[in-house]
A = this chain, B = another copy of it.
Amino acid sequence: MESTSAATVATPRRTRGARAQRREGGSNLGVPYIVRNIPTYDILGEESLQRIERTADRILAEVGIEFRDDPAVLDHWKRAGAKVDGARVTFEPGMLKEIVRSAPSQFTQHARNPARSVEIGGRNVVFSPAYGSPFVMDLDKGRRYGTIEDFRNLVKLAQSSPWLHHSGGTICEPVDVPVNKRHLDMVYSHIKYSDRAFMGSITAEERAEDSIEMARIVFGADFVDRNCVILGNVNVNSPLVWDGTMTKSLRAYARANQAAVIVPFILGGAMGPVTNAGAIAQSYAETLAGCALTQLERKGAPVIFGNFLSSMSLRSGSPTFGTPEPAIGSMVVGQLARRLGLPLRCAGNFSNSKRPDAQAMQEGVMSMLSAVHCGANFILHSAGFVDGLLAMSYEKFVMDTDFCGALHSYLAGVVVDDNALAMDAFLEVGPGSHFLGCDHTMRNYQTAFWDSALSDNEPFEKWVEQGETDMAARANRSWKKTLDEYEAPPLDVAIDEALVDYVARRKNSMPDAWY
């Protein structure tokens, strides 16, 4: 009997201005970042959380972490009272938690357009594009290595979406630019083609320094010393190893009072235990050590507690993404991060699909919802992630940003006030009638429902008339139209010239390197 449900009904006509108005309007629509109006989804009780924390304490005390090729880190740990034996460092229970207490629980990352600065921590949620794919793909040209042109395109697509809040970092690898010079073009592209907050390089200490120096050109050196304007995403070499390249970049960001995002990547069964609780305990220990290191480098520097859980196909041995175990595990990571009082990066719109298809969105939505449910504050990989992060898909990018839009409405929760309860409408309409023209509907319809730009909601016959498209085909049209219509945000000419000059000087100072 529910088949009547799909009948199309008339609705009050909507002016063209309504959509824009709605984006500016109430709840979470059209905002620089989201302030969540729903609680986090906490799935574990106190005793279980303590058992995970105690296991992390034991890992840190009995197994320890190796810090390789960065003697300054070992000096930090010695001074802080950890036990250092060669590269292996062990920690008394409670020591690292005490050290990270100096890190802020919330901080502002400034954007060059102040209206787009983001708050990271607390009840705030920031969506940022996927990060790190060597390949890009689209429906026209298939998969190929990313180029700086792709990079710019993707920054433009991100900038054009009202549903992202951040320009991200290595939105794809610009493989046509020498490895040792990519970061200059990437950071410049973020500043030039976006006015949102962004991320810098971490692949070498001097590249981190370059990234921060370019931020100083935009914001001024004094401002940068006092405020966060750039993030650097540093990875643990799990299990239980921090490489010098990463700790040197981590320290460069912290030293400059900029925020490192500390992220272990654990593929359960390979870089960590095959069981969720153990992988969570391990990543907690690894992240906590990285967060503490930022505070030893510069007390009070902002830092983000990061996490990236994954799983493995037992048939093929391949990593899997967007699967249920990491999704539910994220809720626990969120609880643990909040107990530390640190801003959280966790999960994202992950998928292993090679196409912008049903698999891509099934995995992506499960994973992305876990990110918002677990209380992640900075959600890297919010858009474009396919093929286990080996590729960035143009079509999935715009599908994902559309879904980020839906999450703005979702995170607004259910408003319960006199207007929303609509008693006046019930008294007006009564049984057996309809609410289409009633006063309450007229007052509220423009802001009532999320309206996807990519979903087809037409009757079947109209969908046939319009070419029987699937969402991927509509996404293909959408990103091309967006790029056609893109306009760069204004950038001070003197700043632009100074950046161009800095990039040219740095590029000229070294031969190309392709490794």
* Known contacts A1-B202, A38-B43, A316-B458; is-contact A472 B435 (Cβ 8 Å): no
Q: What's the minimum C-beta distance from A395 to chain B, rounded to whole angstroms? A: 8
Bound-state Cα–Cα, A171 to B316, Å: 35
In the assembled complex, 20 residue pairs joining A and B whose CB atoms fall closer than 8 Å, in A order, are A2-B263, A8-B317, A43-B414, A239-B429, A269-B448, A273-B425, A273-B440, A276-B415, A277-B416, A278-B423, A311-B450, A313-B451, A318-B457, A320-B457, A325-B410, A328-B412, A352-B457, A354-B468, A362-B362, A365-B366
Q: Is A493 an interface residue (CB 8 A)?
A: no
Q: Is the CB of A357 within 8 A of B472?
A: yes
- Set of chain B residues within 8 Å of A64, measured between Cβ atoms: 431
What is the size, in residues, of chain A's interface with B at 8 Å between Cβ atoms?
159
Q: Is A303 an interface residue (CB 8 A)?
A: no
User: What 1/0 flags go to A484-509 for Cβ under 8 Å of B?
Assistant: 00000000000000000000000000
- Set of chain B residues within 8 Å of A316, measured between Cβ atoms: 8, 11, 457-458
Q: Is A180 an interface residue (CB 8 A)?
A: no
- Set of chain B residues within 8 Å of A18, measured between Cβ atoms: 314
Q: Is A342 an interface residue (CB 8 A)?
A: no
- A277, A362, A468 — most chain B CB neighbours (10 Å): A362
- Set of chain B residues within 8 Å of A38, measured between Cβ atoms: 43, 328, 331
* Chain copies in complex: 2
User: What 1/0 flags go to A422-452 for Cβ under 8 Å of B?
Assistant: 1101110111111110001100111011111
Q: Is A63 an interface residue (CB 8 A)?
A: yes
* Known contacts A7-B319, A425-B273; is-contact A366 B369 (Cβ 8 Å): yes
Q: What's the minimum C-beta distance from A487 to chain B, rounded to whole angstroms? A: 25
Cβ-defined partner of A312 (8 Å) among B319, B355, B449: B449
Q: Which residues from 382 to 434 on chain A have a C-beta closer than 8 Å to any C-beta of chain B?
A: 387-391, 396, 399, 403, 406-407, 409-410, 412-417, 419-423, 425-427, 429-434
* Stretch in contact with the other chain, from A50-58, A98-106, A181-189: A50-58
Bound-state Cα–Cα, A423 to B285, Å: 13
Q: Is the CB of B275 within 8 A of A2?
A: no
Q: Is the CB of B274 within 8 A of A3?
A: no
Q: Is the CB of A133 within 8 A of B406?
A: no
